[in-house]
Amino acid sequence: MQYTDNEAALIGGLISNYFLRPAVSAALKDSYTRVLEHLRTGRVSAADLKQIQKALAFLTPTCQMSREAQRDLMGASLKTTALLSSCR
């Protein structure tokens, strides 16, 4: 199982918009830059999934979105959990 193109785009967009800002620490930016690169190349590791899971858990309550966008975000979060479970 892996992310669909839409799920990867949603996750990548959220990470880019919220965690690659100038005010974010260099270490956090570097961490999420690696996650984005792995997401783009289809080489997502368990460590990347944990970072994605943290990002989605942080952003879900803070993002004001349409119901459709909320559903997509929840779907990506559930898939991340499932992918992480399959890595164990």
Lookup result for tokens 């570097």: 30
- Kindly report the length of the chain: 88
Q: Closest Cα to residue 53, out of 23, 88, 14, 21?
A: 14
- Going residue by residue through the chain, which has 88 residues, state the pLDDT in tens, using 9 for 90 and above: 689 999 999 999 999 999 999 999 999 999 999 999 999 998 999 999 999 999 999 988 777 778 888 888 889 999 999 999 998 7
Burial category of 26 from C-beta neighbours within 10 Å (exposed 0-12, middle 13-18, buried 19 and up): exposed
CA distance 62 to 39: 23
Please give the model's pTM, rounded to 2 decimal places.
0.89
